[in-house]
């Protein structure tokens, strides 16, 4: 996950500085990371988000190659939104899998 976070940072920096070569390099790196990750959750929502993630990366890379800043901006926004939506989905799933906490404190209050 840290590699993806760093790569997303590189994409955003490239966009801010108008360096589409950097954006393309980072998008290609992000695609490689995506290919190494097995399905984290086996549910239709995760599968849809995973496909959208791959499509956003592809669109971003293609836009950067074409030097189309407007299309790259839109693809970056879709990619960023997808990351947030996917992690929200994962976090909701994880919360539902964890045992419920009790109200009892684990230390003595004095």
Q: Looking at residue 40, what DSSP letter applies?
A: S
pLDDT at 29 over 90: yes
- Is the pTM higher than 0.85? The answer reads no
- How far is residue 65 from each of residues 27, 53, 71, 85, 93, measured CA to CA in Å? 11, 18, 11, 27, 37
30-80 per-position pLDDT tens digit:
998 877 765 556 788 888 888 999 999 999 999 999 999 999 999 999 999
């Amino acid at each position: 996950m840290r590699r993806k976070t760093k790569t997303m940072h590189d994409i955003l920096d490239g966009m801010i500085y108008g360096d589409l070569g950097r954006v393309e390099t980072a998008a290609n790196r992000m695609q490689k990371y995506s290919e190494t990750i097995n399905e984290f959750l086996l549910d239709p929502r995760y599968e849809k988000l995973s496909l959208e993630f791959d499509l956003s990366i592809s669109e971003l890379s293609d836009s950067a190659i074409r030097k189309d800043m407007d299309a790259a901006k839109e693809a970056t926004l879709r990619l960023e939104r997808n990351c947030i939506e996917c992690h929200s989905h994962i976090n909701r799933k994880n919360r539902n899998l964890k045992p419920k906490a009790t109200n009892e404190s684990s230390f003595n209050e004095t």
